[in-house]
Amino acid sequence: MKSEILAGALLPHLVSRREFLCSLALAGVATSFRKAIPDALQTPYKLNRLVIAPSKKAGAFDAQGADAPFVFRYGNSFYMTYVGFDGEGYQTGLASSSDLIQWQKETLLLRRDPKNPVIRYNVALTWILRENGVFSPGRLKKVRGRYLGVYHAYPRPGYEVGPAAIGLCWSHDLWHWELEEPCLRAEDGQPWEQGGLYKACLVEDQGTYYLFYNAKGRAAQWKEQTGFASSTDLKRWARFSGNPVLRNGPPCSPDERFCSDPCVLRYGRQWAVFYYGLDARGVARDLLALSPDLRRMAKCQGFLIDVGPAGSVDSQYAHKPSVVFNQSVLYHFYCAVSLEFGRGISLAASRPM
């Protein structure tokens, strides 16, 4: 089985994403390490615990895992949307915090709907339009008097099974959401994305909306890369002809297999593109690229967050970034995975916590 996967003989649509990652982790292929990220974006101090853990309660939407954090400021508090997995599919929860360290689960924000063919099994709210600055608390921006989010949904039960569709959603109060029909589908895209779409990130700059997302091709060897579509009216979306803008690295690089889960924020005159890479042996870490124009990407060397030692909350994966700034501290939330603690949300920061 290991040799078949590494040789690309196992078609990606025959296994789930989690099965693929686990099989790579067992394969033991060598990878390389790189160094050098701007000091202002470094977050080396880990909390070393889960701030959102799987509930392990029978019937709960997050019984088996908590994933894909998105953290923002609303009023006098911070909030986090996160994706819960219950064995059947994804649904979206909401948690709150006054200090970004202690978190309280609030509610199930988006539920699956058995009567809706798009969200029958899954609905994952992954981003709400927010202020662009990396050194901001992530306050939300309204469009036409409402909050604007983006979701994705997989067509079959299980963990990320089948090619997901991406769509917009709207809310007056953040607690009640109206979902539009999908605006991006894998089958309408270019070969690099026709195997399936994943997490989306929505950015507005000078009247243009940019919808970044990672996707996989239909090739036998499972690889994920990141591209974007743009729109000026939120109705007609045009995929960038130069996609993917974040491409897989060369052999032995930390993003040889995946360049995934973009978190795109303004960094001075540039854009900081936080993302995670998966190397050939199945190790997932958060990485960084810088861009002058959202089209050209220059990858930074080194890891924003590396996996931890055996027994830590992130000994398997440290990936899927969400970044906010508060009281001179940059907070970097990520999905931490280990055999001991399962799949949950953890935190690293620019200063000790």
pLDDT score, position 246: 97
pLDDT score, position 15: 52
Task: Indicate the pLDDT class of residue 5, thresholds 50, 70 and 90.
Answer: very low
Average pLDDT for the chain: 90
Q: What is the CATH number of domain 2-32+43-349?
A: 2.115.10.20
pLDDT score, position 6: 31
Contacts of 320 (CB under 8 A, 6+ apart): 67, 68, 69, 199, 260, 261, 276, 286, 334, 335
Cβ pair 294, 205 in contact under 8 A: yes
Global confidence as pTM: 0.89
> For strand 178-179 and strand 196-205, is the pairing parallel, antiparallel, or unpaired?
unpaired
Contacts of 174 (CB under 8 A, 6+ apart): 74, 79, 128, 140, 147
Average pLDDT over residues 212-225: 90
Q: In this structure, what are the phi and psi dihedrals at residue 296, rounded to the nearest 5 degrees?
A: -95, 130
Contacts of 22 (CB under 8 A, 6+ apart): 282
Task: Indicate the pLDDT class of residue 28, thresholds 50, 70 and 90.
Answer: very low
Q: Does pLDDT of 4 surpass 60? A: no
Note the helical H segments in 249-311: none
Convert the pLDDT of each residue in 138-177 to its tens digit: 999 999 999 999 999 998 988 888 889 999 999 999 999 9
Q: Does pLDDT of 18 surpass 50? A: yes
CA distance 212 to 197: 11
Domain positions in the chain: 2-32+43-349
Task: Indicate the pLDDT class of residue 253, thresholds 50, 70 and 90.
Answer: very high
CA distance 352 to 84: 28
Contacts of 40 (CB under 8 A, 6+ apart): 135, 267, 330
**Looking at per-residue confidence, does 149 or 11 come out higher?**
149
